[in-house]
Structure 1
């Protein structure tokens, strides 16, 4: 079996090898092992081979989305831990919404700081250009 074939378990659930998920999500094997060490992913093992379920794949999608949006791993872990399909994931959705709104506020504040820095830098560059032009004209 090569690294691109999918495992099928006894329940006919689609499973994935580490290399498949790494390729699909454009992450390194080390990244997947890191998330496993942080207990964000919990693949089965057959010998030394990690076997990821569809659930692990969905969790990885959430982890990577959280990372792109600037969430801490602790925040992502909290959201993942609240998964409860029997309740309709109400608590998970509420916490996700709360953390999402907090992160949006942080990002907007960061953008304001960046905009101010950009404005200041542009003014400084104009000043340097004027000073250089004056120095070169002498």
Structure 2
């Protein structure tokens, strides 16, 4: 029977854990090639032991943020800038302020694009209606379409 380590010991152990590229790829559902790409872009910087990449808990956390940033539509340059802010200010305040600023910009852009899409949809509905009306005038049965 094993006894769980105290939380502080467990947390310390987690922070010292080393991950392989295969482990991270599997965990995040991405390819090793993707991880190497992010490394080439300077987003993560694993230690090396010969040809083997050794990823820290910090690298793992950064990878999670990189993937979340991509899902949210941030560019790799934006993600790098946001992640690098933590190196400048370990409190994370600068990073959070910049994340807030950029998130607001993305929200504004998405809302503008949604308005544009709604306008396009409305225009296509008008075209659809006009085409259907014209076909009915010509005696075409639209139930077949």
TM exceeding 0.5: yes
* 2:113 pairs with 1:110: yes
Q: Which structure has the highest helix share of the two?
A: 2
* 2:44 pairs with 1:41: yes
Deviations 1:84-130 (A, max 9, x none): 49642111111111111111111111111111111112222222233
**TM-score, normalised with respect to structure 2:** 0.78
Question: For residue 136 of structure 2, what is the aligned residue in structure 1?
Answer: 133
- Partners of 1:87 and 1:52 lie apart in 2 by 20
- Partners of 1:21 and 1:80 lie apart in 2 by 19
Shift in Å, 1:134: 3.4
Question: For residue 94 of structure 1, what is the aligned residue in structure 2?
Answer: 97
Q: Which runs of 5+ in 1 are unaligned?
A: 1-10
Shift in Å, 1:26: 1.4
Question: For residue 53 of structure 1, what is the aligned residue in structure 2?
Answer: 56
- Partners of 2:40 and 2:30 lie apart in 1 by 16
Q: Which runs of 5+ in 2 are unaligned?
A: 1-11
Shift in Å, 1:47: 2.4
- Partners of 1:45 and 1:135 lie apart in 2 by 74
Question: For residue 122 of structure 1, what is the aligned residue in structure 2?
Answer: 125
Shift in Å, 1:137: 3.6
- Partners of 1:134 and 1:29 lie apart in 2 by 60
**TM-score, normalised with respect to structure 1:** 0.82
Which moved further from structure 2: 38-47 or 85-94?
A: 85-94
**Using a 3 Å threshold, how does the CA distance of structure 1 residues 127 and 77 change in structure 2: closer, same or farther?**
same
The structure with more radius of gyration: 2
Question: For residue 86 of structure 2, what is the aligned residue in structure 1?
Answer: 83
CA RMSD of aligned residues (A): 2.2
